[in-house]
A and B are shown apart, each in its own frame.
Chain A
């Protein structure tokens, strides 16, 4: 077990691609850190550099306080789990799990004992004599995990380990991974593309974009206080709504009506180079059916009326999709997010609003409905730099803060 420190780590491939740029990251001993971001953002490359499978172009990597830039993977004492499982097809489950121990030249008895132990933890005992070809996807993934844990390495590195599994199995395996990591207390770096995994598994989440770290923090903090447009749009499902906002007469003109702004945002906007156009972001759960709220709550927000497109009742609440008039919010980040999610899943940039209303709301498709939203939960972003203007000392305080 050990801590892992990345100090301005960069990776440039021979063809000129800069896959990872100046990544600073301190992973504490026993911590579970998630690397997340759209595909091609450098997650695997970062992980491979930690494992020693890719050279580090510049910067320093320390494991347990020791610089390991020039150490071969086998000398780093790190175990890796791959999306493709990477089981040795010619070996049985037992042989697969014993492989790292055999290479470490442990005696037969110890090897058998360790493999049996790991097999018991992962419920693989009955499968020990099978070949990988005769296992299901979930079983293969468990074998891959088993091969990683038998060695009791300093750290686990997992590269999208659950992405090849079907949805149900993925949920099951998620808890397996989580429980295993807590039990063993081994430092873990886990790469994923799936934001449910990102939100639920780790102690801290690292969001990457184009090889650079965007924000690092506990999942809830990233959700509540995104530092920029990209983080805001990436975290959360359904994603945050984004609407165009023009700064006019100390107000924000938006498709949801004129939004008042507080002193702090006003000061931000008075700077010489301040943008005249902003992007307003608001999460689906910060909307509510205007008929259902009390006066106290009503005062903290404002209302608008819009035609209802689709109602999806989830039982506990309703997802209601509205169409609003007005300019689309545009920014490079939003396009990137849309491209990554597949335009259908990412309504954020369009003129559609996704809201999550109480289950009691009698809202029906086709009608026009008054909807309230919480001004304290609004984020304002600079479309040019993507910066969250409502963020103050790392906390987001909405548009009205003084």
Chain B
């Protein structure tokens, strides 16, 4: 039972991710077809679209089969009192689990921590990633080497990287801890959170940079030249020309990273194991589900995470909607 339940929780998250990544790839064409549906479609286009649906039908079907069952099963579990330590007390309780979780301080603390980590890391990553992307974009010699070097942190397994951060910050043995007079930052809440965020940022900024670089490639060289002769300074070129053209790519990058950051788990697991109120919602769900064997509460948390992630995705997709005409312009020319 617990074997079954574990993937259920994990898969709720995985589903959210796969749905998002699907959404990301489809974002641009989706906008297109949505635009198209306003105007009458030609016969040809309609046939083309039908073919499109047919072609992705098998994949969509498999995805539904693989993800719909676990999701529905978690929802089902979340509506029951179901603790593996007391299997006899299993009982359908409606929304009681939700009330329990949503009135619980641990949940809201974890939610706050998660939100903080998400906002701070994504904001910092956006700025750093943009800087890195600009550097990589402008680099003429050894571009391949520069890009590879920048991507190394992203290539390291998170848990391994997290352990190296943990040792680095451990008093006595860690070089970073020694820099700070052998203090133990991982034993205090604020510094622990800072280190968790640092590890996250260090690891995923390259990924952000890579996504943004794809956006930079969308900005035509002539546009920047035109802006130069029109009298724009470098900063004005960046804010008034590059950013608007890149907006769709920036939103995609933000969406990706926000969803990722919201499900932060491994860094916290290794660095503090949730001590000193540094748990994220994913940690909390894991603790209830796997450690506590409380399938009801754990599933409830998984479902809540799933809902939050869905809301974030929805907001971003709405933002795409306003960005799409701009991106369309750029492409159609």
Which residues on A are within 8 Å of B, measured CB to CB? 14, 48, 51-53, 72-74, 76, 78-80, 82-86, 88-90, 99-100, 103-104, 131-133, 140, 147, 151, 157
| CB <8 Å contact, A99 and B230 | yes
A48 contacts which chain B residues (CB < 8 A)? Answer: 225
Known contacts A74-B232, A89-B333, A103-B231; 19 additional CB pairs below 8 A are A53-B225, A53-B229, A74-B229, A74-B231, A76-B229, A78-B229, A79-B229, A80-B229, A82-B226, A86-B223, A88-B227, A88-B240, A88-B241, A89-B330, A90-B244, A132-B329, A147-B230, A151-B230, A157-B229
Which of A74, A90, A103 meets B245, CB within 8 Å? Answer: A90
| CB <8 Å contact, A89 and B230 | no
Q: Does B139 contact A (CB under 8 A)?
A: no
Which residues on B are within 8 Å of A, measured CB to CB? 140, 220, 222-223, 225-233, 236, 240-241, 244-245, 247, 325-326, 328-330, 332-333
A38 to B326, CA, bound (A): 35
A85, closest chain B residue (CB): B333
| CB <8 Å contact, B333 and A132 | yes
Name which of A52, A74, A79 has the most chain B CB atoms within 10 A of its CB.
A74
B230 contacts which chain A residues (CB < 8 A)? Answer: 74, 79, 99-100, 103, 147, 151
B241 contacts which chain A residues (CB < 8 A)? Answer: 88
| CB <8 Å contact, A84 and B222 | yes
Which of B140, B220, B333 meets A133, CB within 8 Å? Answer: B333
Report if A89-B229 is in contact (Cβ < 8 Å); known contacts: A82-B222, A84-B222, A84-B333: no
A88 contacts which chain B residues (CB < 8 A)? Answer: 223, 226-227, 240-241, 244
B333 contacts which chain A residues (CB < 8 A)? Answer: 84-85, 89, 132-133, 140
| CB <8 Å contact, A14 and B140 | yes
B222, closest chain A residue (CB): A86
Which of B222, B228, B245 meets A89, CB within 8 Å? Answer: B245
B332, closest chain A residue (CB): A133
A67 to B222, CA, bound (A): 25
| CB <8 Å contact, B233 and A89 | no
Which of B140, B229, B329 meets A131, CB within 8 Å? Answer: B329
B226 contacts which chain A residues (CB < 8 A)? Answer: 80, 82, 86, 88, 147
A83 to B226, CA, bound (A): 11
| CB <8 Å contact, B222 and A103 | no
A240 to chain B, nearest CB (A): 35
| CB <8 Å contact, B326 and A90 | yes
A82 to B326, CA, bound (A): 20
B222 contacts which chain A residues (CB < 8 A)? Answer: 82-84, 86
A339 to chain B, nearest CB (A): 26
A51 contacts which chain B residues (CB < 8 A)? Answer: 225, 228-229
| CB <8 Å contact, A103 and B236 | yes
A90 contacts which chain B residues (CB < 8 A)? Answer: 244-245, 247, 326, 329
B140, closest chain A residue (CB): A14
A103 contacts which chain B residues (CB < 8 A)? Answer: 230-232, 236
B328 contacts which chain A residues (CB < 8 A)? Answer: 133
A99 contacts which chain B residues (CB < 8 A)? Answer: 227, 230, 240
A140 contacts which chain B residues (CB < 8 A)? Answer: 333
A302 to B330, CA, bound (A): 60
A89 contacts which chain B residues (CB < 8 A)? Answer: 244-245, 326, 329-330, 333
| CB <8 Å contact, A52 and B228 | yes
A179 to B328, CA, bound (A): 34
Which of A14, A80, A147 meets B225, CB within 8 Å? Answer: A80
B250 to chain A, nearest CB (A): 13
Report if A131-B325 is in contact (Cβ < 8 Å); known contacts: A89-B245, A90-B244: yes
| CB <8 Å contact, B228 and A73 | yes
A326 to chain B, nearest CB (A): 48
